[in-house]
Amino acid sequence: MLDQLTERLTGALKTLRGQARLSESNIQDVLREVRIALLEADVALPVVKEFVDTVRREALGQAVLSSLTPGQAFIGVVHQVLTRLMGEQNEGLNLATQPPAVILMAGLQGAGKTTTAGKLAKWLKEQQKKKVLLVSCDIYRPAAIEQLQILSQSIEVDFFPSFAHQAPEEIALAALDHARHHYHDVLIVDTAGRLAIDEAMMQEIQRLHQTIHPVETLFVVDAMQGQDAVNTARAFGEALPLTGIILTKLDGDARGGAALSVRHVTQRPIKFIGVGEKLTGLEAFHPERMASRILGMGDVLSLIEEAQRSVDKTEAEKLAKKLKKGQSFDLEDFKSQLQQMRKAGGIGAMMDKLPAQLSRGLAPGTAAPDDHALRRIEGIINAMTPLERRRPELLKASRKRRIALGSGVQVQEVNRLLAQFEQMQKMMKMLSQGGMTKMMRGMRN
């Protein structure tokens, strides 16, 4: 996620890290680089300009120049301004109303509205313990109605059926009535999108808005559209009183232009981000954490929160106890970690939140393994005997050949797995000895 932007920005700032002295002129040089990095990321021009001006003003005005570590202090200023640009703090959903709280989903076709409606329903059900009802007003595409129905079945959330001959307002009102009578806390209304901004579409969703008075009108937009995403957001913002934005497909967005500009241009908060096709691929948006990710510092807070949600507590405690006793992390533990990782949305989602230096260190020169690779690794571990899993040092050539044969892979793949395991073992050792803070401190310098 946003890899290109991170690379360019950290590249621009790297020259400052070790500098004992900063002057107005070398700050100018770095700011020029930052400006280019942002323009290449497809950030809107006025946003770039204001960003660079603010950083310059605050860096020169503050104690950056007289600080003991001016490079770090400067990066601190960039981090603050980046955070503010994206909105200061997380803004959650406002559901404080007489139930059912109505959420209206708006956006172009293909932006990810229907998928996001499903993700949001799952999030509300699981994280907020809400009783949710889903309805689609997309009477033009029966497939869209069916898509939402299938999604609602898979997350076990109620679905209100609708049909192509009905008017969107009629459907929404009937769903609202149903939600009232069946004590639903939240009604999520998915709407029809078009491929581009279109007068008829805008009027239809305006009418729908006036009919059902949603407490939340969320604009769903594909982050990979860059500045186009920002322009569409502006157009929807003029037609509807949007209460928030959901940026989808951030997992595939290397540049980050939309993530950085949309808040500033529309003055509406980004409330969630979509980070994958799966229904677990939705995250609350935290500007401060995103700024850390963008600057290659990782988002360890989100990682920990997710781990707490999805990790089996007893397993985690068992492992912690074992490490504390000085026993080493073995392949059995590795396998159980892999399974937990899969539960937490896959390895890609986790790698994204690790500080850049660490995630590069874990998989030198290669991309992060995907979930398919995770399953293969589990397959290899399954082909080992319990003794081999506990004592990986026993794994010499003949055993490796047997394991490769048993799991249907080449011996090289078994070797690769063992190398990855060793990396993980090292990380676990570091963690158990110094804790997370020590590790992070080591990495930032």
Q: Rank residues 249 and 286 by Cβ distance to ligand GDP and give the closer one.
A: 249
Q: Which of 71, 256, 281, 392 binds ligand GDP (CB under 6 A)?
A: 281
Q: Does 355 bind ligand GDP (CB under 6 A)?
A: no
The structure tokens 């290899």 sit at 380
Listed ranges 53-61, 82-90, 102-110, 349-357: which one lies at the site for ligand GDP (CB under 6 A): 102-110
Of 47, 69, 48, 74, nearest to 59 by C-alpha is 74
Q: How many Å apart are CA 252 and CA 259, to the nearest integer?
A: 12
Q: Does 345 bind ligand GDP (CB under 6 A)?
A: no
Q: How many Å apart are CA 278 and CA 400, to the nearest integer?
A: 35
193 annotated binding-site participant: yes
Q: Does 193 bind ligand GDP (CB under 6 A)?
A: yes
Max Cα–Cα distance, the chain, nearest Å: 72
Q: How many Å apart are CA 84 and CA 86, to the nearest integer?
A: 5
Q: How many CB atoms lie within 10 A of CB 108?
A: 24
Of 217, 236, 228, 303, nearest to 261 by C-alpha is 228
Q: Rank residues 38 and 135 by Cβ distance to ligand GDP and give the closer one.
A: 135
Q: How many Å apart are CA 265 and CA 394, to the nearest integer?
A: 60
Listed ranges 2-10, 110-118, 177-185, 400-408: which one lies at the site for ligand GDP (CB under 6 A): 110-118
Q: Rank residues 274 and 296 by Cβ distance to ligand GDP and give the closer one.
A: 274
CB of 198 to ligand GDP, least distance (A): 14
Q: Does 280 bind ligand GDP (CB under 6 A)?
A: no
CB of 206 to ligand GDP, least distance (A): 18
Q: How many Å apart are CA 292 and CA 393, to the nearest integer?
A: 38
Q: Rank residues 248 and 407 by Cβ distance to ligand GDP and give the closer one.
A: 248
Of 215, 280, 292, nearest to 251 by C-alpha is 280
Q: Rank residues 162 and 407 by Cβ distance to ligand GDP and give the closer one.
A: 162
The structure tokens 């074992």 sit at 322
Of 295, 248, 265, 256, nearest to 42 by C-alpha is 256
CB of 246 to ligand GDP, least distance (A): 9
CB of 44 to ligand GDP, least distance (A): 22
Q: Give the count of alpha carbons within 13 A of 284, CB side only.
A: 16
CB of 306 to ligand GDP, least distance (A): 16
93 annotated binding-site participant: no
Q: Rank residues 193 and 287 by Cβ distance to ligand GDP and give the closer one.
A: 193
Q: How many Å apart are CA 361 and CA 357, to the nearest integer?
A: 6
User: Which residue has the closest beta carbon to ligand GDP?
Assistant: 274
Q: Does 107 bind ligand GDP (CB under 6 A)?
A: yes
Rg of the chain over all Cα atoms, to the nearest angstrom: 25
Listed ranges 111-119, 124-132, 166-174, 417-425: which one lies at the site for ligand GDP (CB under 6 A): 111-119
Q: Which residues, 225 to 254, sit near ligand GDP by CB under 6 A?
A: 248-249, 251-252
Check: CB of residue 74 under 8 Å from CB of residue 184: no
116 annotated binding-site participant: no
Q: Which of 71, 87, 100, 112 binds ligand GDP (CB under 6 A)?
A: 112
Q: Which of 185, 277, 330, 371 binds ligand GDP (CB under 6 A)?
A: 277
Check: CB of residue 215 under 8 Å from CB of residue 97: yes
Q: Residue 18 is which amino acid?
A: G
Q: Cis before residue 100, ω within 30 degrees of 0?
A: yes
CB of 388 to ligand GDP, least distance (A): 38
Q: Does 265 bind ligand GDP (CB under 6 A)?
A: no
Q: How many Å apart are CA 341 and CA 345, to the nearest integer?
A: 7
Q: Which of 6, 10, 115, 261 binds ligand GDP (CB under 6 A)?
A: 115
H or E stretch including 398? helix 397-407
Q: How many CB atoms lie within 10 A of CB 218?
A: 25
Q: Phi and psi (nearest 5°) for 280?
A: -85, -5
Q: Does 276 bind ligand GDP (CB under 6 A)?
A: yes
194 annotated binding-site participant: yes
Q: Rank residues 249 and 400 by Cβ distance to ligand GDP and give the closer one.
A: 249
Binding-site entries: 107-114, 190-194, 248-251
Q: Which residues bind ligand GDP (CB under 6 A)?
A: 107, 109-115, 193, 248-249, 251-252, 274-277, 281
